Structure 1
Amino acid sequence: MLPVTAAVLAVLAALLAWPVPALLGRARWPGRDPLVALVCWQAIGLAGGLSIIGALLVHGLAPWGHSLPEAWWSWIRGEPVGGPVRGDHWVTLTLAAVLALELVGVLALSWIRTARTRRRHRQLLELVVAPGAAPDTRLLEHPVPVAFCIPGARPLLVLSSGMVAELDEAELAAVVAHERAHLRERHHLYLLPFVAWEAALPVLPAAGRAHGAVRELVEMRADDVGLRELEGADPRRTLAQAIVAAAGRPGGAEVPGGALAVTGGAVRARVLRLLEPPSPLPAPARAAALLSAGLLLLLPTALLVLPAL
């Protein structure tokens, strides 16, 4: 039973490592509902990691039992094996351990490094910024329009003096609403697994594609959430003009590492989406996408656990 399970998990891991991310990356519907697309990307990443580690683990433990729990328990207790233990079993067990440690370790290391970078930048900025016009904003003296937020336990929303001078009141409110959306929905947590995935598997093209797609989607999601707070005749055009004003000036200020900026993601695609909004994703399609994401997470788990029942 375990060799069949290992083969199915390996096929699933291969699909989630290349064709599935490629299809989702080329699809047009994510721009119609960025939040659902973000859920799908998270499911692909988690299911892909579980599948590849599970395939290696299941193949390596095959001589010890007919199901993963049974084989794992027998291996832990040092019980006699039910079949010959070949060199490939030990190799796959070693690879499973190394890959699991690498993915978890890189994720933890990325979290620590990013948190440390954000804390350092926050401390430096607090020395030079002044209170902004809005209660939760800070003003940075810099002639180039720039706006960003640093998430964390003590979030910081920074606007440059150039941004304040460049934009009118409505456009400035749009920028602030966009950055508040990042902080309120904790978009940095959506990005972290894909930063770690790309760092752990730099040779895998899907890792870079997934990171870029998720970064673009969190910006689109922040646009959508920010628009809900805006008033005026055409809030979409107002936010688009603010993005263009911030992105169109050469020699802009560098955004601190770990920050989320209003000019993040694909600016051109976001501006076109704001000026020509796509139709919302229909409820049945939305439900189908979420159901698919849930089933994608359940499939490798079921393959690992159900043979023991």
Structure 2
Amino acid sequence: MLPASAASLAVLAALLAWPVPALLSRARWPRRDPLVALVCWQALGLAGGLSIIGALLVHGLAPWGHSLPEATWSVLTGHPAAEAVRGDHWVALTLAAVLALELLGVLALSWVRTARARRRHRELLELVVRPSEELPDTRLLEHPAPVAFCIPGARPLLVLSSGMVAELDGDQLAAVVAHERAHLAEHHHLLLLPFLAWEAALPVLPAAGRAHSAVRALVEMRADDVALRSLTGPAPRRTLARAIVAAAGGAGGAGVPRGALAVTGGPTAARVVRLVEPPAPLPAAARWAALTAAGLLLLLPTALLLLPAL
């Protein structure tokens, strides 16, 4: 018989694998507060992984104890199983090990590949770019299309093309640079990495691709919001919107290195509409409710794994 905690974790994993991500990706409130929505997505992804692996471990180790800590301690100290160990227990343990190794392995591999690609592109770009005299910490690339992107990492690189400089006025260029600096300051590449790995590890799971797309859109909206704080023109929202339209119309994502974050990232049309017609801010009560839900979402699988031992 499946232990109650394992059954509960399996039900939670099923909910977090499809209906909950589907509902969150279709919700309209995240565009009102991308930062809170990003916290919810991170909690959802981590809770989902804990739930599915925890369900398999709790069932597989059930003959050794009534909780995961008790069973793990019994195995580590060499205590014999209190109940008969059946084939389904070994299957669950094997699946848990395979899934954990795949998720962690793909995450590590994605990190290494992305870091390697960024380092290679950075080294190549440093051979052809030149420092900007007008914009501090910004490099100029001779390229006719309007392109702007940043390469995060230990030595971040913020690049504007000559086409971008020629296409935009001073306020619009400042808006683009502020957007890219927001990506670097808040380390948005780290928020994207788990969902990139999730999609690579579980390509047959629709929620994985949906989550990756949603998080990509949210980090761009968040960068827009942070950029607006530093803009001083008469209409900063329209200034940034015009810059996004100009960049998207000239090149879209062409010329942007793999692993970089570009001003044309995410759904540009939705971002422009959001800038020109800003939604009402999320009320404080709703913000705290969403953050509390994210915290509880992380606590629930942890409690199901540990509480039977108390």
Separation in structure 1 between the aligned mates of residue 253 and residue 280 of structure 2, nearest angstrom = 34
Q: Deviations over 1:238-291 (max 9, x none)?
A: 000000000012587420000000000000000000000000000000000000
Q: Matched residues in 1 for 2:128 and 2:251: separation?
A: 23
Structural mapping, 1:145-294, within 5 Å: 145-249=146-250, 253-294=254-295
User: How much has 1:91 moved relative to structure 2?
Assistant: 0.2
Q: Residue 250 of structure 2: SS of its match in structure 1?
A: coil
Contact kept? 2:40, 2:290, Cα under 8 Å: yes
**Structure 1's 140 and 216: CA in aligned 2 closer, same or farther, altered over 3 A?**
same
Structure 1-normalised TM-score? 0.98
Superposition TM-score, scaled by structure 2 size: 0.98
SS in 1 for 2:84: coil
- Who is 1:31 aligned against? 31
Whether the 8 Å contact between 2:253 and 2:265 is mirrored in structure 1 is no
Which residue of structure 2 lines up, in the alignment, with residue 116 of structure 1? 116
Cross-structure match for 2:41: 41
Pair 1:9-2:9 in alignment: yes
2: CA distance between counterparts of 1:295 and 1:251? 39
Once the two structures are superposed, residues 201-248 of structure 1 have per-residue CA deviations (whole angstroms, 9 ceiling, x without a partner) of 111000000000000000000000000000111100000000000001
Partners of 2:206 and 2:252 lie apart in 1 by 30
Quick one: distance in 2 between partners of 1:202 and 1:130? 40
- Across the aligned residues of Structure 1 and Structure 2, the Cα RMSD in angstroms comes to 1.2
Q: Distance in 2 between matches of 1:86 and 1:276?
A: 61
User: Cα distance, 1:59 vs. partner?
Assistant: 0.3
Q: Give the letter for the 1:42 counterpart.
A: Q
**Whole-angstrom CA distance in 2 between matches of 1:21 and 1:250:** 32
The CA distance in 2 between the partners of 1:168 and 1:67, in whole Å, is 63
1:86 aligns with 2:64: no
Q: How far does residue 87 in structure 1 lie from its aligned partner after superposition?
A: 0.4
Correspondence for 1:134: 135
Q: Check whether the contact 1:47–1:296 (CA below 8 A) recurs between aligned residues.
A: yes
Q: Which residue is equivalent to 2:51?
A: 51
Deviation at residue 84 of structure 1 after TM alignment = 1.4
Instruction: Output the amino acid matched with 1:106.
Output: V
Whole-angstrom distance in 2 between the partners of 1:251 and 1:92: 46
Q: Report the Cα offset of residue 76 of structure 1.
A: 2.3
Cα 1:222/1:23, change in 2 over 3 Å: same
Please state if 1:95 is matched with 2:105: no
CA offset at residue 83 of structure 1? 1.3
Q: Please tell me whether the aligned partners of residues 147 and 261 of structure 1 are also in contact (alpha carbons under 8 angstroms).
A: yes
Does the 8 Å CA contact 2:253/2:262 hold for their aligned counterparts?
A: no
Find the aligned partners of 2:199 and 2:181 in 1 and give their Cα distance.
27
What is the rounded CA distance, in whole Å, between the counterparts of 2:14 and 2:177 in structure 1?
A: 42
Matched AA of 1:127:
L
Work out the number of aligned pairs and report it: 309
CA distance in 1, matches of 2:191, 2:129: 28
CA separation in 2, counterparts of 1:305 and 1:72?
11
Gaps of 5+ in 1: none
Contact 1:2/1:68 (CA < 8 Å) preserved in 2? no
- Percent identity of paired positions between Structure 1 and Structure 2: 82
**C-alpha spacing 1:269/1:58, structure 2 compared with 1 (3 Å):** same
Residue pair 1:69, 1:305 contacting (<8 A) in 2 also: yes
Post-superposition offset of 1:78: 2.9
Give the Å deviation of 1:2: 7.2
Kindly provide the amino acid, as one letter, of the partner of residue 228 in structure 1.
R
Structure 1, 242-251 or 2-11: larger mean CA deviation: 242-251
Structure 2 stretches lacking a partner, 5+ long? none
Whole-angstrom distance in 1 between the partners of 2:106 and 2:228: 35
Give secondary structure in 1 for the equivalent of 2:80: coil
